[in-house]
Structure 1
Amino acid sequence: MKTFSKRALLRASAAPAILGASLIATAAFAQDAPQAADAEAADTIIVTGSLIKNPNLAQSTPVLATTSDEIDLRQSNNAEQLLREIPGVVPSIGSAVNNGNGGASTLNLRGLGSNRNLVLVDGRRMVPYGLGGVFDLNNIPLALVERVDVLTGGASTTYGADAIAGVANFILKKDFSGFEANLSEQLTDDGDGNTFRADVTMGANFDDGRGNAVFSIGYQEVDPVYQGARSFSSTYLESYLAECTSCQGSGTSTPTRMSLPGVGTRQISADGNSLVPTYQTYNFNPYNIFQTPFKRFNMFGSANYEISDSVKAYTRGMFSKNTVNTIIAPSGAFALSVVIPYSNPYLTDGIRNQFCNANGLTTAQCSAAAAATDPTSADYRTFNTTISRRAVEAGPRISEFKTTFFDYALGFQGDIGSHLSWDVGGSYGESEQVQTQKGYTLNSRFRNALLATNTTTCLDGSETCVPVNIFGPTGSITQDMVDYLSANSQITTKTTLAQAHATLSGDFGVTSPLASNPIGFAVGGEYRKYTASIESDLLSQANDLGGAGGAQPNVNGGFDVYEAYGELIAPLIEDRPFAKLLSVGAGVRYSSYSVDAPTSPSYDTWTYKFEGSWAPVADLKFRGNYSRAVRAPNVSELFTPVTVGLTNLGTDPCAGSAPLANANLAAVCLAQGAPASTIGFIDQPSAAQANASNGGNLNIKPETSDSWGVGATFTPTFLPGFNATIDYYNIKVKNAITSPTPGDAIAACFDNLTADSASKPACTSIGRSEDGSLNGTATGLYLPLSNTGRLKTDGIDLSLNYKHEFDFATLTLGFNGNWTNSSKFQALPTSLNRDCVGYYSVNCASIQPKFQWSQRTTFTFGDVDLSLLWRHINKVKYEPAQLQADMDAAEALNRDEDGNLLPVADQGCPDYAGADEGGCVVDSQFRKIKSYDYFDLTARAQVSDNVMLTFTVMNMFDKKPPILGGSVGSTSYNSGNTYPSTYDALGRKFAVSAKMKF
């Protein structure tokens, strides 16, 4: 963090072009006056990316800045929404993510993952919200944000571990004096999704200007938008089975589906008397939401006081309480293995007879078993089956996340003579999130209730047990049954972060013979201690909640890190021919980690950077940088036990009739635990989700990255008001802490099957359930965590800004664009080196387009602004590597073990149409998305000296999102038949706000 006072900035006016280039690679500004006023009001200006407190020494790393003025024009209500629309930022978990949202919002810079960038407030870390060490953007007080700096590339030398992709630094307003109130309201064109926000900020100077105190409070409330409220998302579309109208939804349905030995999974007929081929799946979309309901109350306070001319004290406190609700379709028995007596009172004669025949019972045995209600009777018999029954009678599943966050800092800074300054401080923060899961049925109670042999009591003798009727239509599960089946569950996640720092910065008092500014430096040390824990109740630990996605074990861990760092910037040549400026810089940081574990793993890391700037003339500057950065494993990656959860998988090679014709494939399916009776009858993953096993690993070590960049800034004197920056970045991560993708796990086993494949570890590590599927009790795909991954991304950022004063108005133009050349990911040395730029699939989670830009045009007529924002997203398509894998799998399913083409009736995927039982290839209509352009129009007026009104129409042409079905990608981002985090699923939206300042 680089800071300097307003007085020092005025003394530094000899180098305005150099300073401007380091401060501005900006988003477009509607007008300069508010920004200038904010700068003048501030006593301290913070520049992201350096620890040296010298305004004359410009850094060589590009920074993209978004000002408070731009935040007001966008009418952004939370930090995640603001950041995800910046070119180069890939949409991450946030308000548009429902299934997969953990009650927080995160940043994913350059597509390298939210755990590979840092979010800072005034250059300092804040306590993370969970075990992944990631900060929750919901805690940012937007009302106090002066600007947001986004720095690309390894910044570990300046800010410590985790800054591999870069940092987002929220710079808050300083020395605020007066009163400011903000009120805003937003509503969609359909009349839903209401968003209300109110903020009040008060500040004052005291003791003749030696001190200042600021206090701000805010409240925000957001209503949900249901997918059932939009025509394009009201019905789930199966991407692999576009023409199959009975396949549009989940196999966990109503009426119940049951596995019948030697036949496969069948569904209870409409009259309830028989099991027939599946004719009705469950459309879960109407329950799901595009916009998560959210409530937030936050407080922020800060103060500073000049104890003497050379010592200043500062303090800051943040508090917020957030409530996020995720809402998904009802719970139930999801491929649940159960035991049912032939004498179950709700079991119809027709279905009983089918199970009797399948299990080899004679007519007499079947009749006797139907009448035997006493388990001690010699005629008492049971059968095993796997049921899929949606408990629609219980209502939706709701996960309520209540997060309480606070972070407090105290420090002192001062000067030693005219060349040195110091800063000593510390902070402590806590985050506690309580997740309450409501509306879930319990697997254990389903199993217990199905053992009943009468309609009033259960075999366990429990007074609370109510026998359950799963053999009837919707409504057959009565309210009494629902009350018995259902229970709430709680998971509490706690994190703490204690940190302290001490920095000495200044200059050596000496200069290069050809320069006028002295050589600057900074040295210091830092200490951080993280702790994190998860406490789950017994229901969550036992994975007893129907459709919860897996067990949540208790986790407890933490680590300490001690660091020492140094930084140097040396102007070599200044104000010479062909060298208006030539400077070089370097930095180094040593970190020592100690993990709180019985084995006490520890590791030391070194990070460093080199940078340089050359301005041959005042109008043009070239810059370059190289850095080595690290990311230490977080608490989740170290301490989480291996558990079974869910991942995305569209097709299972063992599903359908293909194993009947391919002996090698059948052997693999059997080796993975599929019973012989299920071969030929295994279901595809339900709702394109399969079980997967993964967890932490205490043996992993920090990952390292090498990043470099070159760029130029252009501020021509012959074109006043214009500036441009262009920068190329290249980031490579080796020894990356990664897990294989679902496609990697499937390919490692099922590609090029031979007679020996059944014994390959890549195949035997996959576990199947009693019905042979990858759902239910299956351990599923094995996705272990290791240090064998590699990531690489590179691209170009371009920023153009122009301002011109006409007689009648002021024109301001701004352009920010990003071109990403590649974003490659390889989980294992044997895995595909996958490039996800411009592609989507289950392996490429959130969409990262090849080219993305935002362009703002603003006309200012006196006290009125008219501003148009144009947001462009380049075309993308279904990942070619996954499409080829789908086609290869389909080709294999259509041939026997000798390579001979099967008869069409036996083919799993004839003609790759996707309109058959196999459904192996994504339908052609869902394989591409054209380029998208959105336009937002804002009108802003200063209606009086104290009141400003702003009105915005977002997505003014009401452009509908692309329709892709619901199984082409990851459940978190591919939802409601589209990608709502990338494309606007809400439609045209109106926003109005009022700002009052006194």
Structure 2
Amino acid sequence: MKTNARVRLLASTLLMGAGFVATSAQAQVIAQDQAVEQTNADGSPVTTETSQGDIVVTGTLIRNPNLVSSSPVAVVGREELTLRQTNTAEEVLRQLPGAVPSIGTAVNNGNGGASFVNLRNLGSNRNLVLLDGKRIATAGLDGQTDLNNIPLALLERMDVLTGGASTSYGADAVSGVVNFVTRSDFAGVDATASQQISQRGDGNYFRADLTIGANFDDGRGNAVFSVGYQEADPIYQGDRPYASSTISSTTGRAAGGSPTSVPASFALAGQSGLLQVNPGSNLLVAPYQDFNFSPYNIFFTPFKRYNMYGSAHYDVSDTVTVYTRGLFSKNRVSTIIAPSGIFGESLTIPGSNPYLPAGIRDQLCSAAGIALGATCNSNTAIPMPEVYRRTVELGPRVSEYETTLFDYTAGIRLNLTKSMNLDVYGSYGESQNTQTQSGYVLRSRVQQALNATNTTTCTVTTNGCVPLNLFGQAGSISPGQAAFLNGQSTITTKTQLSQVHALLNGDFGFASPAASTPISFAVGAEYRDYGAQRIPDAYALVPGELGGAGGAVLPVNGGFNVTEFFGEVIAPLVEDKPFFRNLTVEGGIRQSRYKIDAAGNPSFNATTWKAGGSWEPIADFKLRGNYQRAVRAPNIGELFAPVSTYLVNLTVDPCAGTAPTANANLRAICLAQGAPAAVIGTIQSPASGQPNATGGGNPNIRPEVADTFTVGAILTPRTLVEGLTISVDYFNIKINQAITAATPADILAACFGNVTAASATSTACTSIRRSATTGRLSGSSATVGGLPQPLTNLGRIATDGIDLGVDYRRDLGFAKLNLNFQGTWTNSNTFQASPSSVVRECVGYYSANCLTIQPKFAWNQRTTLTFGDVDLSLLWRHIDTVRYEPGLTPLFSGAITGNTPIAGQNWNFNRIKAYNYLDLGTRIRAAENFEFTILVTNLLDKQPPIVGSNAGSTSYNSGNTYPSTYDAVGRGFRVGARVHF
């Protein structure tokens, strides 16, 4: 690591040194564009002509830059990306007020090697990601686009439209669209390098990009090529005092976190709970030591990426332009979690096993009803119903995700008339993600190694079997034993996207009688063909074979195609009249025909439409509104993923503890779900707060339907306050027939909601399946089905709120001032799994049901002062107060106890106060061709809030906090340099 750091620092130094030899000159001051409204001071839209020559106005297919879409679009400009020293698009998007964190660099356990965006907290599969208005190949079975592949070096801006956009872009755009717009007609050389590190000396991140472009043939053509490299080191939770020990969210005690510990534990028939090996007495006793998995986990995933992007266009004649674009990216994301082990697997062991202590042998025999003495001491296989042992001797579990993506587009644009053109392009892309899991214990080899009757050879001697000592302390598994148990597994996921798109746009040549701007239109057709395959190896196919990898990963091979016809129109009705400086209406419709490529699965149709308009009574004020019927078709995973068992999150189980002994009906329900009578009254909540659940795709689901509505105003009072722009927009999105599965709390409520009246034989109760040994909802995925989570079209999701944007720019004489504010107040975000389920509110709350955190109010405010060639900028990020979900058993509040550096600190895990972060940066244009940027993130070095390890979902509640929402790393430093000619 130290060598790598020196290499990176040397590269940065060389680049900066090269810049200082450039000729000094006065540089142009470019205003910052942090998530501002996509309009200029006069209300006209911000537009960009891409390197293919298209004028991009996100939210409409009409390419007339004088017309404004009625949908609000927020913009993150290239200057803002520079000030943030951004490494991936996900870093910026998860901090925007209109979005919430999705899978990204701060997600460890649950990261599949890709980064996504989640607009309005409606799910990363309900928004669409575009590159210059075009789709690229998706990342996996669920249809999302991996943001790790976006070529940041060439970006001009990121447009974020939060509201339905299905009419313009097709399915997936229910909650909005993120459009990455590249720099147009780039000519010259642009080289950048950046280095970042935390104040604690970890988290090294190096990035370098080189872009070369040129015009040719007297400006008739342009070609650009960009290459980039990134490398990031991990940040371990064990290196932060608040995360080095696993703290229970319900007790506030740091006493480990997982019953899969060392020495081994066993669940025996007729015994209450687990029994753990006591090395001193060689007997099984009450559990006394859980496993602290936190030090092995990471806050920041290691990342390495190589990417290339090229584009070109050429004017064959005055009316014909050909263009092309190619994207290639290869990235590697590693997740690191605590060591593997045996997680509740049913095993057997001969009574004559040399490592089996006599006392434990007799306890096992008694529990199994095997006579003590000669019978128990023979080669008789003694059953061990559930075995738990953390194999620390193998080291951590590492999943390395290597993703290779390429996407190629070629097209032709014909200028049919002065005001009408035809654009036709074809595109093909592929993504391949290979997950290599290492450090995992193989259950089949554990059983083979336990069958030994001596310490040197196994009963079955194939594949180099070494007899296993399962009953000792940490280190008792020898290197030879560990090597035999250790397995490596690979799962490959491939996706393909082929598309052909034709768009005719222009104007009709006539205008409304009260307007001068012609009515514009866009009509077209599109064909897309999706395919995906998941190919697991033999180890991944077997439930429980890979210790701690969850359930079986089953193969998938599916796809579908869609044929679409669409049209849009924008009509200025009144222009330049009293109280009607401009009155414009717009409309659009898209008809889609889906054909599923699986025998026996029917096809379906979907229709989306939109209607909107804007009214400018005077030059400084505009009202706008838009209503859309958006439709999202099911993706390949939702259609074709096989049913399997996996892990979800749940803090408290109704059958846990003594409650079933005091309520006869509750006892009957727990028994009907598979719990043995002997353990009633002693059932424990799921291990590590992770019960099993069983679910998969459903070929019978149909598209979900959303109604989206936005209405807002833009105020630019130039005569009163020059340089001020204010925008405010109300949004309302309702999704019916939502493709969803019930949350764990919903599943339990359907059965246990009224324990007195509930029927133990109802489907809602008997479909929940427990361990036949411990009665728990956790255990081997081969035998414990846990909670049923089938996909249905019964869900309903609704959200509404207000976006506020303020931008103020003024020349102070000694400096230029730019103030920008972008905030979102979310009134509500509710989820109902079915018409009979509870309506769950997640705005301002966190729990296992609400996954990531969505505060009631969040804002970004940037203040920038420009002193000639120096920008000094402060970014203030605010996250409002959030609380634990009401109606659930409250979490811990008090002084933290146990073996942790933060023992004695008082925390209320039921509430997270408002958080404010400050990032201070400066950009210095040292010469005409050289500039460098210095940034300090989390300037005040704020410690993240502590809520324990099982307050929410495993993906987002990690290291006793929520690292995707709150800074768990601490103060950091970033430096970047740019040379351009």
In the alignment, which of 270, 276, 283 is matched to residue 292 of structure 2?
283
- The alpha-carbon deviation at position 341 of structure 1 amounts to 2.5
How far apart, CA to CA, are the structure 2 residues paired with 1:714 and 1:769?
62
TM-superposition CA deviations, 1:234-291 (whole Å, max 9, x none): 0000101224x54x31000001111133222111114151111111100000000000
Secondary structure at the counterpart of residue 509 of structure 1 = coil
> Quick check: 43-52 or 158-167, which moved more?
43-52
Counterpart selection for 2:825 from 819, 823, 845: 819
The question of whether the paired residues in 1 share the 8 Å contact of 2:50 and 2:182 is answered with no
- SS at 2:79 equivalent: helix
> 1:676 and 2:677 equivalent?
yes
Alignment-derived partner of residue 173 in structure 1: 183
Q: Cα deviations across residues 660-698 of structure 1 (Å, max 9, x unaligned)?
A: 333222222221122233333333211110110000000
- Quickly say closer, same or farther: Cα 1:546–1:343, change in 2 above 3 A: same
Q: What is the distance in 2 between the residues matched to 1:727 and 1:841?
A: 29
- Cα deviation, 1:111-132, whole Å, max 9, x if unaligned, reads 0000000000000111001010
1:944 paired residue number: 927
Contact kept? 1:728, 1:794, Cα under 8 Å = yes
Shift in Å, 1:385: 2.9
Shift of 1:44: 4.9
Displacement of 1:842 in angstroms is 0.2
2:311 is aligned to 302
Deviation at 1:924, TM superposition (A): 7.8
Partners of 2:764 and 2:944 in 1: CA distance: 39
Which residue of 2 is the match for residue 972 of structure 1?
Answer: 955
Give the counterpart letter for 1:260 in structure 2: L
In structure 2, what residue type is equivalent to 1:119? V
Q: Secondary structure at the match of 2:259?
A: coil
Please say if residues 27 and 67 of structure 1, whose CA atoms lie closer than 8 Å, have aligned partners that are also in contact.
Answer: no
**How far, CA to CA, are the matches of 2:776 and 2:896 in structure 1?**
20
Match of 2:849 in 1: 843
Is 2:256 the counterpart of 1:253?
Answer: no
Alignment partner of 1:224 out of 216, 220, 234:
234
| Cα distance in structure 2, aligned partners of 1:861 and 1:476 | 66
2:973 maps to: 990
Q: Judge which range, 327-336 or 826-835, deviates more.
A: 826-835
Per-residue CA deviation, residues 200-241 of structure 1 (Å, 9 max, x unaligned), is 000000000000000000000010000001000000001012
Task: Choose from 235, 247, 252 the match for 1:242.
Answer: 252
- 1:195 to 1:596, Cα distance in 2 relative to 1, 3 A: same
The match for 1:269 among 278, 288, 300 is: 278
Residue 354 (structure 2) aligns with: 345
The Cα of 1:453 is off from its aligned counterpart by 2.4
- Answering whether residue 761 of structure 2 is matched by residue 752 of structure 1, we say no
Change in Cα spacing, 1:721 to 1:394, as seen in structure 2 (3 Å) is same
Q: Specify the code of the residue in structure 2 equivalent to 1:652.
A: D
In 2, are the aligned partners of 1:343 and 1:369 still within 8 Å (CA)?
no
1:795 aligned to 2:801?
yes
Question: Aligned pair 1:145/2:143, yes or no?
Answer: no
Equivalent residue number for residue 215 of structure 1: 225
After TM superposition, the structure 1 = structure 2 runs for residues 895-974 of structure 1, keeping only pairs within 5 Å, are 925-974=908-957
Spell out, residue by residue over 1:382-405, the C-alpha distance to the aligned partner (whole angstroms, 9 max, x if none). Answer: 233311100000000000000000
User: Which residues in structure 2 correspond to 1:480-495 (within 5 Å)?
Assistant: 480-495=480-495
d(CA) in 2 for partners of 1:24, 1:196? 24
Letter in 2 for 1:277: A
Residue 86 of structure 2 aligns to a residue whose secondary structure is coil
Corresponding residue of 1:4? none
- Equivalent of 2:776 in 773, 785, 789: 773
What is the identity percentage for the equivalent residue pairs of Structure 1 and Structure 2? 56
Question: Is the contact between residue 52 and residue 520 of structure 1 (CA under 8 Å) also seen in structure 2?
Answer: yes
Per-residue deviation, 1:756:
5.7
CA distance in 1, matches of 2:822, 2:38: 8
Give 1:774's aligned amino acid: L
Counterpart position of 2:106: 96
Name the counterpart of 1:196: 206
User: Secondary structure in 2 aligned to 1:170?
Assistant: strand
Give 3-state SS (helix, strand or coil) of 1:976's partner. coil
Structure 2 match to 1:696: 697
1:464 CA drift (Å): 2.1
Any gaps of 5 or more consecutive residues in structure 2? 1-32, 899-905
The answer as to whether partners of 2:196 and 2:204 remain within 8 angstroms in 1 is: yes
Distance 2:833 2:165 in 1: 24
8 Å Cα contact 2:740-2:795 kept in structure 1? yes
* Aligned residues of 1:25 and 1:724 also touching (Cα < 8 A): no
Structure 1 pair 756/834, CA: closer, same or farther in 2 (3 Å)?
closer
Residue number in structure 1 paired with 2:790: 784
**What secondary structure is seen at the aligned counterpart in 2 of 1:880?**
coil
Residues 36 and 74 in structure 2, CA contact (< 8 A), matched pair in contact too: yes
Count how many residue pairs are aligned between Structure 1 and Structure 2: 932
> Is the 1:631–1:702 contact (alpha carbons within 8 Å) kept by the matching residues of 2?
yes
- 1:585-734 matches, cutoff 5 A: 585-718=586-719, 719-734=721-736
Within 1, Cα distance between the matches of 2:757 and 2:629?
Answer: 46
SS in structure 1 at match of 2:257: coil
In structure 1, how many angstroms separate the alpha carbons of the residues matched to 2:429 and 2:74?
28
Residue 26 (1) aligns with residue 40 (2): no
Q: Distance in 1 between matches of 2:601 and 2:267?
A: 48
Residue 869 of structure 2 corresponds to residue 863 of structure 1: yes
Deviations 1:452-509 (CA, angstroms, capped at 9, x unpaired): 2222233334362222111110011111111111110010000000001111111111
Distance 1:68 1:529, change over 3 A: same
TM-score scaled by length of structure 1 = 0.91
Q: Look up the equivalent residue of 2:607 and give its one-letter code.
A: W
Contact 1:743 1:882 in 2 (8 A): no
Hey, what's the Cα distance between the residues in 2 that align with 1:832 and 1:268?
44
Q: How is 1:317-716 mapped onto 2 (pairs within 5 angstroms)? A: 317-360=326-369, 365-373=371-379, 380=380, 382-462=382-462, 464-543=464-543, 544-716=545-717
C-alpha separation in 1, matches of 2:60 and 2:960: 44
Query: How much has 1:347 moved relative to structure 2?
Result: 1.5
Q: Deviations over 1:797-836 (max 9, x none)?
A: 1110011112211011100000000011111112111010
Equivalent residue, structure 2, for 1:5 = none
Separation in structure 1 between the aligned mates of residue 212 and residue 713 of structure 2, nearest angstrom: 41
AA aligned opposite 1:988: R
Seen in structure 2, the aligned counterparts of structure 1 residues 199 and 963 have a Cα distance that, compared at 3 Å, is same
Instruction: For 1:866 and 1:914, locate their aligned partners in 2 and report how far apart those are by CA, in whole Å.
Output: 41
For 2:666 and 2:936, the matched residues in 1 are separated by 56
Quote the Cα distance in structure 1 between the aligned partners of 2:924 and 2:737: 53
CA distance in structure 1 between the partners assigned to 2:744 and 2:51 by the alignment: 53
Equivalents in 2 of 1:874, 1:70: separation in Å?
23
- Residue aligned with 2:333, SS: strand
Determine helix, strand or coil for the equivalent of 2:510: strand
Per-residue CA distance 1:829-873 (angstroms, 9 max, x = gap): 121110100100000000000000000001100000000000000
Question: Secondary structure in 1 aligned to 2:519?
Answer: strand
Structure 1 CA distance for aligned equivalents of residues 505 and 125 of structure 2: 30
Stretch moving more, 592-601 or 287-296: 592-601
Cα separation, 2, equivalents of 1:517 and 1:877: 52
Q: Which runs of 5+ in 1 are unaligned?
A: 1-22, 374-379, 887-908, 917-922
What residue is the counterpart of 1:3 in the other structure?
none
C-alpha distance in 2, partners of 1:43/1:639? 39
User: How far off is 1:784 after superposition?
Assistant: 0.8
What is the alpha-carbon distance in structure 2 between the residues aligned to residue 604 and residue 764 of structure 1? Answer: 37
In structure 2, C-alpha distance between the alignment counterparts of 1:660 and 1:441, rounded to whole Å: 38
State how far apart, in whole Å, the 1-side matches of 2:874 and 2:757 are: 63
Separation (CA, whole Å) in 2 of partners of 1:913 and 1:706: 47
Partner amino acid, structure 2, of 1:978: T
Q: Which amino acid letter does the alignment assign opposite residue 561 of structure 1? A: V
The 3 A distance-change label for structure 1 pair 466 and 770 is farther
Equivalent AA in structure 1 for residue 913 of structure 2? K
Pick closer, same or farther for the CA change 1:534–1:41 going to 2, 3 Å: closer
CA contact (8 A) 2:588 2:609 kept: yes
